[in-house]
Structure 1
Amino acid sequence: MAEGRRERADAARNRRAILKATENLLAEHPPAQVSVERIAAAAGVGKGTVFHRFGSRAGLMRELMLERAHALHESVTDGPPPLGPGASPRQRLLAFLDAVVDVVGRNKGLLAALGQAATAPRDAQEDSREQHSVYGFWHGHISALIAEERPDLDAELLAHILLGALQNGPIVHLLGQGETRRLAVSLRLLVTGMLEG
């Protein structure tokens, strides 16, 4: 019994170490340079452990994406304002976009994967559906907040434009250079102008 608990504790610790190593490597390198071998070495585990836990490199990236997206989802639905309920739509929108930029800044391949999933056919494979649901939540939340603040705007299209801008090549390059704060400030200016226009 104690052996089983220790094994589960080891597996949980390895999972956290692998996800953290992946996030750290994605913050420092383009996604194409973040191999399973590199992740395993950074996490202090064998390559086989990564494959056993996540199935593939794509499975690992998907798991990291879903974990970060889930944490953001919880903050939006149950966390304190301004990200969570209790603040004005404008405050919540700006806080949410700040949070998205932070997540994307730490996981540069994340939004590209989400955007690809959003345009994937409905009968796409399971991971595309999971990614589509994340994009769907992000888009729906942004769209709802814009509509609440400015019912006269095309909130649905504007939400796609805002998320799409974060997938733009020069923006991804900017994030790769550690310019997360610069992007967050500029995005706030853009959205504030849009809401006041």
Structure 2
Amino acid sequence: MTLSTQFITIIAMVISGVYLGASYHTFKRLERLWTSSILWKYVLEILFWIIQAAILYFILFLVNEGILRLYIFLAVLCGYAMFKSLFEQVFGRIVDTLIRIVLRIYRFLYRIIEISVVKPIVFIVSLIVVCISKVFIALYSLLILLLKVLGWPVKVIFSILQPILPKNAKKYLHPFYRFYSKIRRKE
């Protein structure tokens, strides 16, 4: 490995250390979103480090064909330390600002969708339900009125025939009278 390749490798690994610090800071900042499950937190942490190791090795493979040396780890550590000491506060403010902007955009889009899609659908469905219930109430009232109109002659005829009917016939007609009295009580 030539001296220029080693120099490029060190520079690339220092920059990769800065990238690693920035990505870890962002990961920790976003970790608040999924801390509800400890298992999920650990799975995401392991996946994060596997992905970061793959990215760093891919960069190392592009720069010096993937040859690992001690100074490569030291260069990554120096880059991470450089991020922590020089860039972390500024980067943290930038990340917080971006998160606030994304949350505001999300809330705005959520509100727009709620106002333009969800509320009209809820209104239309509730309007349909109210109309159908009103139609059923009207049909029920019409049916009750019809039963009253049709039941009045039956009641008159029954009241006229009741004294002259035999006891056996009264026994069979008594359930109809109970049915009619239930209808009449529901008015």
TM-score when scaled to structure 2? 0.25
Q: Which has the greater radius of gyration?
A: 2
TM-score when scaled to structure 1? 0.24
Point out the structure with the larger helix share: 2
Higher relative contact order (CA 8 A, sep 6+): 2
